[in-house]
Amino acid sequence: MESEIFEKAYKAILEYDAEKAESVAREGIEAGIPPAKILDQGFSPAIKELGDKFENMEIFLPELVMAANAMKAAVNVLESALKKTGETLPSKGTVVLGTVEGDIHDIGKTIVGATLSAAGYKVHDLGVDVPVPRFLEAAEETGAQVIAASALLSTTMLRQRDLVDFLKNRGKRERFIVIVGGAPVTKDWASQIGADAYARDAVEAVKVLDSLITK
Ligand code: B1M
Q: Is the pLDDT of residue 214 over 90?
A: no
Tell me the best of 152, 153, 177 to mutate to test the pocket of ligand 1, counting ligand atoms within 8 Å of each CB and taking the most: 152
Report the pLDDT averaged over residues 78-82.
Answer: 89
Q: Angle at CA 155, nearest 5°, toward 150 and 161? A: 60
Tell me what pLDDT residue 90 has: 84
- For the entire predicted model, the pTM comes to 0.95
Task: Fill in the amino acid letter for 90.
Answer: P
The answer, yes or no, to whether residue 85 has pLDDT greater than 80, is no
Quote the CA–CA distance of 108 and 130 in Å, as a whole number: 15
Distance in Å, CA 183 to ligand 1 centroid = 7
Average pLDDT over residues 9-32: 97
The burial class, CB within 10 Å (0-12 / 13-18 / 19+), for 143 is exposed
H/E stretch holding 125: strand 121-125
- Residue 215 alpha carbon to ligand 1 centre in Å: 32
pLDDT on residue 45: 96
Average pLDDT over residues 14-20: 98
Protein residues whose CB sits closer than 6 Å to any atom of ligand 1: 44, 47-48, 50-52, 54-55, 61, 64-65, 68, 72, 102-109, 111-112, 148-150, 152-154, 179-184, 199, 201-202, 205
Architecture of domain 2-83: Orthogonal Bundle (1.10)
How far is 40 from 35, CA to CA, in rounded Å? 9
Which pLDDT does position 87 carry in this prediction?
73
Query: Rounded to the nearest whole angstrom, what is the distance from the C-alpha of residue 20 to the centroid of ligand 1?
Result: 22
pLDDT at position 182, please? 98
Q: Does the pLDDT at position 84 exceed 90?
A: no
* pLDDT confidence of residue 7: 98
Domain boundaries, the chain: 2-83, 94-214
Which of 44, 105, 109 to mutate to test ligand 1, by most ligand atoms within 8 A of the CB atom? Answer: 105
pLDDT digits 0-9 by tens, 87-96: 777 889 999 9
Alpha carbon of 76 to ligand 1 centroid (Å): 17
Mean local confidence (pLDDT), 65-77: 96
- The predicted-structure confidence for 105-138, as pLDDT tens digits, reads as follows 999 999 999 999 989 999 999 999 999 999 999 9
Average pLDDT over all residues of the chain:
95
pLDDT, residue 152, reads 98
In this structure, the number of other CB atoms found within 10 A of the CB of residue 184 comes to 12
Which pLDDT score, from 0 to 100, does residue 38 have? Answer: 94
Compute the distance from residue 184 Cα to the ligand 1 centre, in Å.
9
Residue 7 vs residues 4, 38, 46, 81, 107: alpha-carbon distances, Å? 5, 10, 10, 20, 20
Please tell us whether the domain made up of 94-214 is placed in CATH 3.40.50.300. no
